[in-house]
Structure 1
Amino acid sequence: MTGAERLQKILAASGIGSRRDCENLISEGRVMLNGEVAKLGDKADPETAEIYVDGERLVTDTRLVYLAMNKPLGVMSTMSDEKGRISLAEYVGRFAQRVYHVGRLDAETEGLLLLTNDGDLAHKLTHPSFEVSKTYLAEVSGTIPQGFKKRITTGIELEDGFAKADTFKVVTTAGGRTLVELSLHEGRKHIVRRLLGEMGHEVHRLVRVSIGPIHLGDTKPGRIRKLGQPEIAALFKAVEQ
């Protein structure tokens, strides 16, 4: 096998623990290698092996990059823009590997954007059949009437088909505007704005705060951080079927 290394060495290099700790994990039957329980002495190619530790996927291919960005207001979710507007390329240029955005946020929407060069995972995260939920904070006009939550989570008909929120709650109300939190697992263009607008509440500000298990947290606008192994494992678990 080209590029094969001892499994405990691969695990240790991925930050699971010391080589002795990793040997113990293998001995205890807690490591799966390419669909089978791993044994001491097993070797693998870290660029192609599928490794699970305690049921969680461990990415050992160093060519793969998984990033979380807080996209600022006004930035285009593209790697280049023919009109010369600010695009993601101005933020990801420092990474040696070429990465792609997982889905999009329109220029007027802020918040969490995932970037990766793992095409298979990116496809699963964006395909509605995998039902990966995305959560938003939206500042809308007016106050939310009684019965609104039931209506928006039951769903309404838009011009391009049926749409609904998976969850909905009011966060605060002040000064004629209301801050709401809602989650959806689909990604049609402007779906959050259109859904709330159709129900009589114009969106003044929209921020995506999570995609599946990944949260925006305190990442500042324009900043990018690498996802840790537990977060990457959680993303793989989110698209398991």
Structure 2
Amino acid sequence: MDAAEDGAERGERIAKWLARAGVASRRDAEKIIAEGRVKLSGKLVTQPATFVQPDDVVMVDGKPVNEPERTRLFRFHKPAGLVTTHRDPEGRPTVFEKLPEGLPRLISVGRLDLNSEGLLLLTNDGALARRLELPSNAWVRRYRVRVFGHVDPAVLAELKNGVTIQGVRYGGIDAGLDSRKGDNAWLTLSLHEGKNREVRRVMAYLGLEVSRLLRIAYGPFQLGQLERGTVDEVNPKVLRDQLGLAAPVRKR
């Protein structure tokens, strides 16, 4: 018996299965397992190396989890004023509360902070979310940013060499001045890492106050003309072409 046959007989690791089912990323699925919140066919799961067979029933927090469906990816035009989380301890409105009904359980690819707007990718596949977040993808995140303060194009150009702020190293950023009116200006920034609050911190380092931050692209996926607060599913063929995913197997 070869390794592929052995893997098929054992099934799929439960953490990966939960990620594909959109419950959480694989890493968070492992935390959920460690917290004793997962059962497999009535038995408590204690190890992420547990395997799921086709006829098994998986439950999280006492509720059955549907089998993973095909991988799906959505573009969402996030408005300002929403937090990118399923639950907020401060009671602020969340992205997932504002999504239309009828969608599968979704998780976000990365985050946009409370006051940021624009393109947020959502998927039902936690493993895909983790893959799209990896810095090794080198996918460009592109933003339009309105700032208040004096903008020096020469200083903006220096950002391509990266910058260290309070001990944190930020990689190269392509920054350009689009327009200026008085002390207000619009910039376009392109970066690869997308660290937490990176744009705001780099702008503050330059003495610029961000008054609006809009993400317009994440890798090959564009905000385009998507209206604020609306969701649009990425065509499955585009998803396969861009990410190299296998086409779904047709059942006979």
Q: TM-score, normalised by structure 1?
A: 0.68
Look up the match of 2:219: 212
Contact 2:145 2:210 in 1 (8 A): yes
Deviation of 1:225 after TM superposition, in Å, equals 0.7
What is the aligned residue count?
Answer: 179
- Between 1:199-208 and 1:224-233, the stretch displaced more is 224-233
2:89 and 2:153 map into 1 onto residues whose CA distance is 45
Look up the match of 1:132: 139
2:70 and 2:237 map into 1 onto residues whose CA distance is 18
Contact 1:132 1:185 in 2 (8 A): yes
What amino acid is the match of 1:228? N
Contact 2:161 2:171 in 1 (8 A): yes
Contact 1:80 1:88 in 2 (8 A): no
Look up the match of 1:197: 204
Cα deviation, 1:5-52, whole Å, max 9, x if unaligned, reads xxxxxxxxxxxxxxxxxxxxxxxxxxxxxxxxxxxxxxxxxxxxxxxx
What amino acid is the match of 2:95? L
What amino acid is the match of 1:177? N
Q: In structure 2, list runs of 5 or more residues that go unmatched.
A: 1-7, 9-67, 245-252
Deviation of 1:99 after TM superposition, in Å, equals 0.9
1:69–1:230 distance in 2 versus 1, CA, 3 Å: same
What amino acid is the match of 2:136? S
Counterparts of 1:148-187 in structure 2, within 5 Å, are: 148-187=155-194
What amino acid is the match of 1:101? S
Deviation of 1:89 after TM superposition, in Å, equals 2.1
1:202–1:152 distance in 2 versus 1, CA, 3 Å: same
What amino acid is the match of 2:76? M
1:148 and 1:223 map into 2 onto residues whose CA distance is 36
Q: TM-score, normalised by structure 2?
A: 0.65
Counterparts of 1:1-241 in structure 2, within 5 Å, are: 63-92=70-99, 94-236=101-243
Identity percentage of aligned residues = 31
- Dislocated runs of 4+, deviation >3 Å: none
1:235–1:122 distance in 2 versus 1, CA, 3 Å: farther
SS state of the match for residue 97, structure 2?
helix
SS state of the match for residue 98, structure 2?
helix
What amino acid is the match of 1:161? V
Cα deviation, 1:162-217, whole Å, max 9, x if unaligned, reads 11443221111113111000111112211000011101211111000000011101
SS state of the match for residue 92, structure 1?
coil
